[in-house]
Chains A and B, each alone.
Chain A
Amino acid sequence: MAATNTAATPVPAPAAPAPAVQVPRGQVDLVDFIDWTGVECLNQDSSHNIVNALKQLYRDDEGLYLASDSDEQLLIYIPFIQVVKLHSALIKGPEDEGPKTVKLFSNKEHMGFSNVNDYPPSDSLDLSPDHLAENKPTTLKYVKFQNVRSLTIFIEDNQSGSDVTKIHKIALYGST
């Protein structure tokens, strides 16, 4: 019965009606630091938009999700109201239509789909269906995200290769 909560590694919560995410020790949920006036999402379906995945309450509702429109790619731009350090990210989605390759860019303003592959990403995540289901945030390359003013998330494809990518929740953890 040793303490299951060790310092750095987050512990997956037991399957409960409302599964709680164990926030990594020393990190906070950065949702409070998001500058909502500047949040943009390219190629989102207007009825299933970015707010559903990012905002408190919206993101925990399983019925609300972010969906892509013309094709499966999504480009999400999140500015912060102050400089933050990004530690880990949690992305939840359905097993088949959830995102697979996710590229993160720090401090790149107003990227478009055409130039998104011109820059090397600050970090790149390859998500598996397990990642999408569980509540465990994926740790990022902390050194690359030391003074993040804005974050661009590029979702290149999804698990099943369908035309529509769906995301239930995007949560960012870090410190200021």
Chain B
Amino acid sequence: MICIDNSEWMRNGDYSPSRFQAQADAVNLICGAKTQSNPENTVGVMTMAGKGVRVLVTPTSDLGKILACMHGLEVGAEANLAAAIQVAQLALKHRQNKRQQQRIIAFVGSPVKYDKKVLETIGKKLKKNNVALDIVDFGESDDEKPEKLEALVSAVNSSDSSHIVHVAPGENALSDVLLSTPIFTGEEGGSGFAASAAAAAATGATGFDFGVDPNVDPELALALRLSMEEERARPEAIAKKAAEDSSTENKDHASSSNTDAVMTEAEPSSNAAADDKKEQPKEDDDLLQQALAMSMEPASGSAAVADAAMADASAVDPDLALALQMSVQDANMSSESDMSKVFEDRSFVTSILNSLPGVDPNDPSVKDLLASLHGQGEQEKKEDKSDKPEDEKK
């Protein structure tokens, strides 16, 4: 329950723009903080002066209603603190949700005319009924006022639930000073609203990553954070690949697999890493097969030259290398148009199979198939060779 001081003393301008306006801002801020920090919180507002001690809005969680009631408040007359606290207590007693903790926040800007004793009795009564009290001491300050209010709060206080804040007139707005006090931060250890408001006021929203307040725009903040992480992850993955590649003995492959790795990394495929790993042993296989195939064919100088050429080419593009090899084989063997010869080239087959999605050349069934095809090719080759010597014999 918030008690507003709207007495004549609030016309003074020592808090900008006027005491009353500063108070109103602070009240708005507190209402917002309380309703945001817990959806079950309710806040009520009442005046201590003006037309008299009266309740403007009974405790409600509707922030709009609360803010609306602050409009058109008149400043005048004298504040009656004792009566106001009693009325506040009554308003709290008749709250709808009996499980809520009772708390009164009083803005005391005018001088306090009561005795310390009277105030202490009031405080005791509040404590007896388990009502906490927060006091914002601002505006008029004479010698005794801070003391009296301190006595009141200490009479009410049980286990640190009640607080008092003295705000001197000056540069800082009343609301800003209050933001850092326990009145705002409350018992729950701070609400997001208060914390972010404080940060915004103090640093101009530079306290957050990416300069976006997660409270204000959570989706944007999340998107920014995700893209940051992706960026960070990419060079790390590439570095990891490079580390793995350097561990393989084939230096030729290092650069090609690197480029390969980069290309596959760019694709958003989840199998990228797995594919890379598979391709490396296959490329070992490929070159080995190429070497074997070539050694089996009748040696020719062109083949050796092509070999060197192809070793270079393979550094750039394994497919290109295979194509070159194919053409070399064309030159050496007569029946290259035969498809069986194509299948005989195991490396070519594996490269084709690689490009086919869903086919894993390391799969035993596929390997068997390849072996049988290769065996067929072998037979044909043997026949060729036997033919040739026969030819030669002839």
A residues with CB within 8 A of B: 42-43, 46, 69-71, 73, 109-110, 112-114
In-complex Cβ contact of A70 among B93, B127, B159 (8 A)? B127
Smallest CB–CB gap between A112 and chain B, Å? 6
Interface presence of B128 (CB below 8 A): yes
Residues in B with CB closer than 8 Å to A43 are: 127-130
Structural contact, B130 and A42, CB atoms closer than 8 A: yes
Taking A69-B158, A112-B93 as contacts, is the C-beta distance between A42 and B98 under 8 angstroms? no
Residues in A with CB closer than 8 Å to B124 are: 70-71
Give the dominant DSSP class at A's interface. loop
Smallest CB–CB gap between B160 and chain A, Å? 10
Taking A70-B124, A71-B124 as contacts, is the C-beta distance between A112 and B158 under 8 angstroms? no
What's the count of A-B pairs with C-beta under 8 Å? 26
Structural contact, A113 and B158, CB atoms closer than 8 A: no
Structural contact, B129 and A42, CB atoms closer than 8 A: yes
Distance A110 CA – B125 CA, assembled complex (angstroms): 17
Structural contact, B128 and A113, CB atoms closer than 8 A: yes
Structural contact, B159 and A42, CB atoms closer than 8 A: no
Q: Which residue of A lies closest to B98 (CB)?
A: A110
Residues in B with CB closer than 8 Å to A71 are: 124, 128
Smallest CB–CB gap between B165 and chain A, Å? 23
A/B interface sample: 15 pairs, CB < 8 A: A42-B128, A42-B129, A43-B130, A46-B158, A46-B159, A69-B127, A70-B124, A70-B125, A70-B127, A71-B124, A73-B128, A109-B98, A112-B129, A113-B128, A114-B93
Residues in A with CB closer than 8 Å to B127 are: 43, 69-70
Residues in A with CB closer than 8 Å to B130 are: 42-43
Residues in A with CB closer than 8 Å to B129 are: 42-43, 112-113
Smallest CB–CB gap between B373 and chain A, Å? 78
Interface flags for B106-148 (1: CB within 8 Å of A; 0: not) read 0000000000000000001101111000000000000000000
Smallest CB–CB gap between A8 and chain B, Å? 38
Distance A113 CA – B98 CA, assembled complex (angstroms): 15
Distance A114 CA – B128 CA, assembled complex (angstroms): 11
6 closest Cβ pairs, A-B complex: A70-B124, A43-B128, A70-B128, A110-B98, A46-B159, A70-B127
Residues in B with CB closer than 8 Å to A73 are: 128
Most buried by A among B124, B129, B159: B129
Smallest CB–CB gap between B98 and chain A, Å? 5
Interface flags for B257-272 (1: CB within 8 Å of A; 0: not) read 0000000000000000
Smallest CB–CB gap between A155 and chain B, Å? 13
Distance A70 CA – B120 CA, assembled complex (angstroms): 11
Residues in B with CB closer than 8 Å to A42 are: 128-130
